[in-house]
Each structure stands twice: as structure tokens, then as C-alpha cells.
Chains A and B, each alone.
Chain A
Amino acid sequence: EPEVTQTPSHQVTQMGQEVILRCVPISNHLYFYWYRQILGQKVEFLVSFYNNEISEKSEIFDDQFSVERPDGSNFTLKIRSTKLEDSAMYFCASKGQTFSYEQYFGPGTRLTVT
């Protein structure tokens, strides 16, 4: 069964450093998402991406964040200058059809900022 994969599973970085979280969505999917879950809190939407551009973003997704689909398979989230409060589990998700709301999630990347 096709699945969303994410690398790395755990990333530790120092405050102020740039990090790139990588995702490989399900191959024929067209819509891509990033969510995050701060420890003990709910899963929060960050951004959605379709047709090589951001289609929606939350207030969390400020100028420190960017997304990219550099090739036909990868989908990345970049945090330019990490802060302590960026420590969280980051989930990538993908969706196939326009009128489907069913998103398939990856296993997550745990980001720890020290």
C-alpha cells in the first residue's frame, strides 16, 4: 500500500540554524500539506501546496518557513532560523483528488531545537 514517508525521523538543531524536513508524498497525489504538533498539544495546520504554489497557510507559517517541491517526488519544509518554540513533531500529508478531504499522513519528523 502506498504511503507517505518522511526523513529524518528525528532532527536536533541549535537555535538559529536552518533545517529542511523532507517528505515523499504518495506518488499520484496532487495536494501536499505540513502540520505540526507541539508536545502535548493538538495537531495544527501549517500550509497546503498545490500546482507548485502555496494554496493556504496558517498564521504560524511566517517568513521563517518555506515549502518547495524541488522535483517530482519530494516535498520539503524549510525553517530558516529555528527558535526553541519550533520544537515539535512535523507531519507531512498528501491528498489525491480535488474534492476529497482525505489526507494521508507520514510518520512525522521530531524536531528538537536546543
Chain B
Amino acid sequence: AQSVTQPDIHITVSEGASLELRCNYSYGATPYLFWYVQSPGQGLQLLLKYFSGDTLVQGIKGFEAEFKRSQSSFNLRKPSVHWSDAAEYFCAVGIQGAQKLVFGQGTRLTINP
């Protein structure tokens, strides 16, 4: 069965520091990959997506992610975090031929001033 793993449940970084959130997936074919962000009391906002082509994708709010097929990974990065980036981040996989998205368990990001 398809699955998504986000190994880090909670990460704390200092404002201005770089960030990398990890995501690994298990799926037989090339997946469609997404990162969503959920601020407290808010819905899920799409940060970026990968369908095909360039494996380094740019998203909103200065985020980027790199698809590495050999590692079955799609890690999210940001060179310098801002206090407003504190939120829950979800990696998700779209399965070919199916309608649903499969989500990871999320990583909660805390920013230290």
C-alpha cells in the first residue's frame, strides 16, 4: 500500500536559520508529490507540487522541494525561516488512477526568536 513518512514529528529552529523537512514515500510508480502547510486554526494551503520535469520545484513563501527518485524522498527546504513559518507541514502523495491524496503524519515547526 502507498504510504508517506515524515520522520520528524516536531522541529524547532531559530528565526533566520535554514530548514529542511523530510518526506519519504512508498509507491511503485512516479507519484505526484505535494507539500501543504496548516497554520493554527486554518485549512491546508498548498505550498508546492511536483508532477514531472525539473526535480527542484519552487513554491510559495520562499519554500522549495527536491524530488529524489533514488531515495523516494521529497524534502522541503527554506534557506531562512521567519516566525510566521511556524505551522504544521504535511507531505502528500497523489496516486495515479486514484482520486485520493495520501498524507504523512505531519511535522510541527516551531520558530525560536
Binding site for B on A (CB under 8 A): 4, 6, 31, 33, 35, 41-45, 48, 50, 55-56, 58, 91, 93, 101-108
Contacts and interface: CB of A to CB of B under 8 A. Distances in A.
Interface stretch (B16-24, B68-76, B97-105): B97-105
11 contacts: A33-B99, A42-B104, A43-B103, A58-B100, A91-B43, A101-B94, A102-B34, A103-B101, A104-B46, A105-B36, A108-B43
Nearest to B105: A42
Interface in B70-102: 90, 92, 94, 98-102
B99 A41 contact: no
A106 B43 contact: yes
Nearest to A43: B103
B contacts with A: majority SS: strand
Given A42-B106, A106-B43, A56 B99 contact: yes
A45 B43 contact: no
A45 B102 contact: yes
Contact of B51 (A35, A42, A101): A101
B42 A107 contact: yes
A102 B49 contact: yes
A78 to B, nearest CB: 20
Interface of B: 32, 34, 36, 41-46, 49, 51, 90, 92, 94, 98-106
The 3 closest A-B CB pairs, nearest first, are: A101-B94, A48-B99, A45-B100
**Which among B43, B102, B105 has the greatest number of chain A C-beta atoms within 10 A?**
B43
Given A33-B99, A43-B44, 11 more contacts: A42-B90, A43-B92, A43-B103, A43-B106, A45-B100, A56-B100, A93-B44, A101-B32, A102-B49, A107-B41, A107-B42
A25 B53 CA distance: 30
Given A101-B32, A105-B43, A42 B100 contact: no
Contact of A31 (B41, B42, B99, B102): B99
